[in-house]
Amino acid sequence: MSKIKIASALFISLVAALGAAAGPSHDLVLCVTFRVPGGLTATALPVPLPPCGLHQRGTDNRFTHFGPNYPRFNNLARDPRDPRVLYAASLNGVLCSTDGGEVWRIGTSWDMTEPRDVCIDPHAPDHIYLALPDGIAVSKDRGLTWPRRETGLPDRGKYMQVVKVDRTQAGRVLAGCESGIYLTETAAQSWRRVFTTQTTITDLQQSPHDAQLWLATTQSDGALRSRDGGRTWEKIAGVPAAAALYNIAFDATTARRYAVASWTYGILTTEDGGETWSERNVGLPVPHRVFRLGIDPDNGRLYAGVYEEAVYESLDFGRTWRSAGFEHSVVYNFVFLPRFANSPALAHLP
């Protein structure tokens, strides 16, 4: 990608951010599926269910389904240059749209299945990274082709749950795998392991306040922190490690607030940069099997997807909760996409 294109993309992103300053600067999209209450065997035939797939929050705070009625999206990424260009990690592979989600194309072929995550390099938006159960594919042509880029990853242990691009440097990417955290600084030409685990890394996040600060969750090693851009990692004391942690999020509105989701522990929060942690589950269903959480970067609102129960939201960082709908759902991701100025959030919305 040329320097001119990169500059152009950054300019558009900047304009987008400035243009949205008056209102929310992010779109929220839920990757969600719905389950028949009482289990599938409650009925012999399909019963009416809300459409599964992608649900976007509108300006009226109501959610609208778009895209296919499809049971498994793990993440959604949007081209920072063009709000109509979307990439979704789905059961079938990566789904690509160039019209804001009306029409989709399965971008990958038969030899890639069940990608767990997808992300775009904001400094090289033609580059899209796709985390796979057996490694990683990287498209450098806006999703037209998906070659594998696995030099440096082990033959086994490269099950990849999460992939995230460092927003400060093109081609710098962190990947969470079965055997640890891997880093590339060459747009996946080569990878090196920067942290070793026995079981899977479940999430990686870069701080919106400090680009050198990264957090990770794991299945059996608790929560991790890196203060040097992901080169080295340390365990965060005070976060339990006996059971799996599912994901972690920064509060973009308050620098030292993070939250962790866990099937076992529910919601864990810190407001002092990880020094102390609290369980914040009062008001959530019991058992509080939190499958996914998200923090709205515009207002710090905390969302919890409680497995097969509903989505809950908290305006006070987990001290109290209220239902936000989506009964009988499983939320695979709360996706906050930077909003574009003077353009509809996604093409399907009026």
Partner 1 sequence: MIARLFLIFSWALGGAVILLAQPAFVGPAPSRAILPTPELQRAAYLARIDEILAWRSSQAKPGELFPEMTMIATKLALHQDAELCSRSVIALMKTPASGPFWMFPTVNVAFLGRDQLSLEARQSIRKAWSREMQIRGDTENHWVMYYTSLYLMAELYPHEPGSSWYSGKSSEENLAEAKAYLIDWMNLATTVGQGEFNPTHYIGEYAIPMLYLATWAQDPAMRLRGKMTLDWLFADLAENTLNGVLHGANARTDDISVIERGKALASFFSWVLFGNVPPIAAYGGWGIYFATVAQNYELPEVIYRIAVDRPSDYLQRDLKRTRRRWRNSDVLMAPIYKTNYTRRDYAVGSYQGGLADPIQTHVWDVTWDVPDPRGVHNTMFSMHPVSSSYDLQTYFAELPDQMAKEVTKEGKASYDSPDKFLGGSRFEQVFQDLDTVIALYDIPVGTRFPHINGFLSKDLLQLTVDPSGWIFAQGGSCYLAYRPLAAYQLRPVARVKSSMTGERASLGDQQLFSPYLKNGTIVQAAAVSEFKDFAAFQAAIRALPLSFQLATKPTVTFQTLRGKVVTCTFGAAPIVNGQPFDYTPWKLFEGPYLNAEKGAGRLTITHGALERILDFKTLSITDRVKL
Using CB under 8 A, list all residues that contact partner 1.
Answer: 33, 35-36, 39-41, 44-46, 52, 68-72, 91-93, 96, 103-106, 109-111, 113-114, 116, 133-134, 156-157, 159, 178, 200, 202, 219, 243-244, 246, 263-264, 289, 291, 307, 330
Closer residue to partner 1 in complex, CB, 160/236: 160
Q: How far is the CB of 110 from partner 1 (least distance, A)?
A: 4
In degrees, rounded to 5, the angle at the alpha carbon of residue 315 between the alpha carbons of residues 313 and 319 is 85
Which lies closer to partner 1 via its Cβ, residue 24 or residue 68?
A: 68
Q: How far is the CB of 44 from partner 1 (least distance, A)?
A: 4
* CB closer to partner 1 out of 107 and 230: 107
Residue 25 or 179 having the CB closest to partner 1: 179
Closest CA to 97 of 87, 112, 110, 89: 87
Q: Specify the residue, 134 or 298, whose C-beta has the smaller distance to partner 1.
A: 134
Q: Among residues 114 and 279, whose Cβ is nearest to partner 1?
A: 114
- Distance in Å, CB of 132 to partner 1, minimum: 9
CB of 343: closest distance to partner 1 in angstroms?
23
Minimum CB–partner distance for residue 155 and partner 1 (Å): 9
Residues 151 and 201: their CA atoms lie apart, in Å, by 19
H-run or E-run covering 20: none
Structure-block tokens of residue 280? 């914040």
Q: Which residues pair with 140 in a beta bridge?
A: none
d(CA 332, CA 140): 26
* Segments of 219-257 assigned E as strands: 223-226, 234-235, 247-250
Structure tokens at 212: 């050198």
Length of the chain counted residue by residue: 350
| Least distance between partner 1 and beta carbon 72 (Å) | 5
Terminal Cα distance for the chain, rounded: 33
Contact indicator for 265, 284 with CB cutoff of 8 Å? no
Beta carbon nearer to partner 1, 159 or 258 = 159
Q: Are 162 and 116 in contact (CB under 8 A)?
A: yes
What Å distances lie between residue 331 and 255, 322, 335, CA to CA?
26, 16, 11
Q: CB of 107: closest distance to partner 1 in angstroms?
A: 8
